[in-house]
Amino acid sequence: MKYIKWESSLTFQIPLGWRWFLSLGLGLCVSAVYAAPRTNIAESTLTSEGWTQCWSQPFNQKGTPISTVLSNCRGSELLMGCRPIGESTFTVVADAPRADVIYDTGDDLSTTHSANGTEWYFNKNRSWGFANGGDSVNKNTCDTAAAAVDKRMCIHTRTNNIHSGWRCGVTASLNGKSNWESVLFHREDQCAELEAGPDVLNRTVPVNMERFLDYCADESGCRVTLGKKDVNAVSNDWVNLLDPATLVYNKATKRWNVGSPINGNGTDADGVAQHIMGSYPCYFIDGEYTCGDEACNAGSVIKTDDKAQIGLVNWSGGPNTTCVLVIRDDINDLSDKTCE
């Protein structure tokens, strides 16, 4: 379980996988307190939190390019762990946003990068691993420090390659061991945003269709909110234009249906660009608007719908207005705010 702390100092528990913004309609701010490295974690627990394994390797194996590992593990969050091969429980795991897990801490003995209650270190010519938050490390070249050893993991790196493992919790000197493994999992955020600012007036900003289909092309669909930000010298305010609505997109037929309070439907790639939802100047559409002149004046815009592609349009909005589309995989998340 992960603890969530209210600003009123009340504390309660929710599942660890809930890493996004919670809107409870009570006017209270909620912020997540992320876990430090965890020990003795079942693989089934990780999968229930939304993690997918993307790489594994025995501790004695050498020569795997780090670029190959990271190309297989593309998620916005990464989880690193280790265990004896064949075990269903990980000895120790830690997770953080991708940028934190692979933050280059240099080719020295002690530098770490703090994220999610964990001290991370990564360098393509020394080592890669973690320790408990606040603890020091001794990267020689893997971490040999002795404090809180159950929450430490380290694998060697050399010349841009993985170069065998060394430590998994309290067990060290694993370089030649074929019966221990390092494992990476990845996970995508379950909330995505798209913006159309004053620099792209009257033309479509396309949605990433692979991610859109992953969120919206199943039976439950996704939750979409259309809004705008009006930016000036004293404010950067979110204004909710339309209440969140459930959208279901059929990948085979390209038919879409949006529920209450919009209650609309249509077909993508049918030659006619339609509004899925909209309120001036922001429109979520199933077509493509392209400029007909250099200034992209509204009267010159060419509107087509000849391919499976949806997007966001800022239609002649003001110089300080940015349209925002928020898509959430969880249809029960009723927040009308941007992804947090």
Percent of the chain whose predicted confidence (pLDDT) is above 70 = 86
Which two structure tokens, joined as six digits, stand for 328? 């959430």
Q: How many CB atoms lie within 10 A of CB 173?
A: 10
Position 156: which residue type?
A: H
Q: Decide if 138 contacts 144 (C-beta within 8 A).
A: yes
pLDDT in tens, 85-117: 999 999 999 999 888 999 999 999 999 999 999
Angle at 327 between CA 51 and CA 323, to 5 degrees: 140
Confidence of residue 13 (pLDDT cuts 50, 70, 90): very low
**Pairing mode, strands 255-258 and 264-267:** antiparallel
d(CA 257, CA 82): 44
pTM: 0.55
Q: How far apart are CA 156 and CA 73, in angstroms?
A: 19
Assess whether the previous peptide bond of 58 is cis (omega < 30° from 0). Answer: no
For residue 21, the model assigns a pLDDT of 29
More confident residue, 154 or 318: 154
Mean pLDDT over each residue of the chain, to the nearest integer: 86
Q: Is the pLDDT of residue 10 over 80?
A: no
CA dist 35 to 67, 116, 170, 189, 283, Å?
28, 6, 20, 17, 39
Contacts of 44 (CB under 8 A, 6+ apart): 88
pLDDT tens digits for 225-234?
999 988 765 6
Say how many C-beta atoms besides its own lie within 10 A of residue 6's C-beta: 14
The pLDDT value recorded for residue 336 is 64
Q: Alpha helix (H) ranges present in the chain?
A: 43-48, 66-72, 98-101, 209-216
Q: Are 94 and 80 in contact (CB under 8 A)?
A: yes
User: Using an 8 Å Cβ cutoff, are 167 and 138 in contact?
Assistant: no
| Residue 31, pLDDT score | 30
Confidence of residue 15 (pLDDT cuts 50, 70, 90): very low
pLDDT of residue 334 exceeding 80, the answer is no
Q: What pLDDT sits at residue 35?
A: 65
* Model pLDDT, residue 288: 96
Residues in the chain: 340
Give me Rg for the CA atoms of the chain.
24
| Nearest of 127, 126, 145, 33 to residue 80 by alpha carbon | 127
Q: What is the mean pLDDT of residues 55-84?
A: 93
